[in-house]
């Protein structure tokens, strides 16, 4: 990855320094490329399914109610709110506190963990890969957390004694949840429970991204994160417990995702759409900005081993549902470049 430019300040510094809004942040129409207003007056998605992990664990047949609900969630809404996941509410609040503490360190302290131009690991903002690239109104701390031998600890903040231990504990808890979800997803399609897990390989990856969205004086013109699907298997999101911002796309319209403070929002990425031969759909989503309040979220990205070839599960390919995707390795790299150009990454592997 070679950056076209790396001179732009973090968004938080633009706000704190009172800088004029750079044109690279102003939303442009997909059709014309002209500047366009962002419509934030969209309905609340009150019907997003709420899935209970404890009921998934006890399910044994694709016809069990919770597995039916899971399958419906992943074919219709493409995401769900996860409850009874076994993580204490107080622990989730502590994880949120880690994020807030980091982004409110001094500029100099945060810069100790700055992302280099040839990597996504560390603290910073969008990688600028192309001239006239639309930038997101968000600063990020991106860390590989699993496998542990892939952790680059020089980017892990040292301001908090508990940061490393707490993040490793959070990762271990979400790893268990991820494995249960993959088993349940397979069972919901009447497949052997390891059908998706096998495709994640021996060294599946998990990376965490702490997201900080500063207040934005022009929320009708600047987007927090541009519309996209995730290029991995599963994303598990810990939302801000007070400030909305996440929106999903369904039936040709946008919906606001409601806040359930101690639930986890789970959505499917492109690689599970590929494995399921298009039965499960990756979620098109975006994040809007807020004129007066900052927003903090924590996304855990769960992906197959980059060296592992993935493709549609053979049992899901038949005359009624022909193979929809080619087999591919390291899809995440393909996704990254297509996404930054505003193109559909799945089209690169679609048959």
Structure token pair of residue 51: 């899935």
The per-residue pLDDT for range 236-292, each reduced to its tens digit, is: 999 999 999 999 999 999 999 999 989 999 999 999 999 999 999 999 999 999 999
CA distance 62 to 85: 20
Structure token pair of residue 206: 């998990």
Per-residue pLDDT of the chain (351 residues; tens, 9 = 90+): 555 555 578 999 999 999 999 999 999 876 556 777 898 889 999 999 999 999 999 998 889 999 999 999 999 999 999 999 999 999 999 999 999 999 999 999 999 999 998 889 999 987 777 777 889 999 999 999 999 999 999 999 986 668 999 999 999 999 999 999 999 999 999 999 999 999 999 999 999 999 999 999 999 999 999 999 999 999 999 999 999 999 999 999 999 999 998 999 999 999 999 999 999 999 999 999 999 999 999 999 999 999 999 999 999 999 999 999 999 998 987 787 776 666 778 888 999
Look at the block and give the residue holding tokens 């590929």. 274
- Paired with 287 in beta bridges are 225, 246
Can you give the pLDDT at residue 139?
97
User: What pTM was estimated for this model as a whole?
Assistant: 0.94
Can you give the pLDDT at residue 196?
98
CA atoms within 13 A on the CB side of 214: 19
CA dihedral 44→173→73→42, nearest 10 degrees, is: 20
Strand pairing category for 50-52 and 79-83: parallel
Can you give the pLDDT at residue 168?
96
Tell me the C-alpha to C-alpha distance, in Å, between residue 174 and each of 168, 185, 238, 276: 10, 16, 11, 22
In three-state secondary structure terms, 303 is: strand
Can you give the pLDDT at residue 32?
56
CA distance 122 to 142: 5
- Exposure string for 82-117, b = 16+ CB within 10 A, e = fewer: beebebeeeebeebbebbeebbebeeeebeebebee
Can you give the pLDDT at residue 30?
64
Can you give the pLDDT at residue 158?
87
In three-state secondary structure terms, 231 is: coil
Total Cβ atoms within 10 A of residue 79:
25
């Amino acid at each position: 990855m070679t950056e076209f430019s790396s001179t732009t300040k973090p968004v938080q510094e633009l706000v704190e320094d009172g800088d004029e809004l750079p044109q690279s942040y102003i939303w442009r129409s997909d059709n014309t490329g002209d500047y366009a207003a962002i419509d934030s007056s969209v309905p609340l998605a009150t019907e997003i399914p709420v899935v209970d992990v404890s009921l998934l664990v006890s399910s044994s047949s694709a016809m069990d109610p919770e597995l039916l609900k899971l399958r419906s969630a992943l074919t219709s809404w493409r995401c769900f709110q996860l409850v009874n996941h076994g993580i204490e509410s107080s622990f989730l609040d502590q994880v949120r506190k880690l994020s807030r503490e980091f982004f409110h360190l001094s500029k100099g302290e945060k810069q100790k963990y700055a992302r280099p131009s040839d990597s996504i690991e560390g603290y910073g903002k969008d990688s600028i890969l192309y001239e006239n690239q639309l930038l997101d109104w968000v600063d990020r701390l991106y860390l590989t957390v699993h496998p542990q031998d892939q952790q680059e600890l020089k980017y892990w903040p040292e301001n908090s004694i508990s940061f490393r231990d707490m993040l490793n504990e959070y990762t271990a808890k979400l790893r268990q949840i991820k494995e249960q979800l993959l088993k349940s997803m397979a069972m919901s399609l009447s497949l052997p429970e390891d059908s998706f897990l096998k495709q994640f390989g021996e060294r599946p990856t998990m990376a965490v991204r702490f997201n900080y969205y500063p207040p934005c004086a022009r929320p009708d013109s600047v987007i927090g994160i541009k519309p996209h699907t995730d290029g991995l298997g599963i994303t598990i999101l810990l939302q801000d417990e007070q400030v909305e911002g996440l929106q999903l796309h369904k039936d040709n319209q946008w919906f606001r995702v409601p806040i359930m403070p101690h639930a986890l929002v789970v959505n499917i990425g492109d690689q599970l759409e590929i494995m399921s031969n298009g039965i499960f759909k990756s979620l098109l989503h975006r994040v809007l900005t807020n004129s007066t309040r900052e927003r903090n979220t924590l996304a855990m990205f769960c992906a197959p081993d980059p060296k592992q070839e993935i493709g549609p599960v053979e049992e899901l390919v038949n005359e009624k549902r022909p193979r929809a995707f080619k087999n591919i390795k390291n899809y995440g790299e393909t996704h990254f470049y297509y996404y930054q150009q505003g193109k559909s990454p799945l089209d690169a592997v679609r048959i």
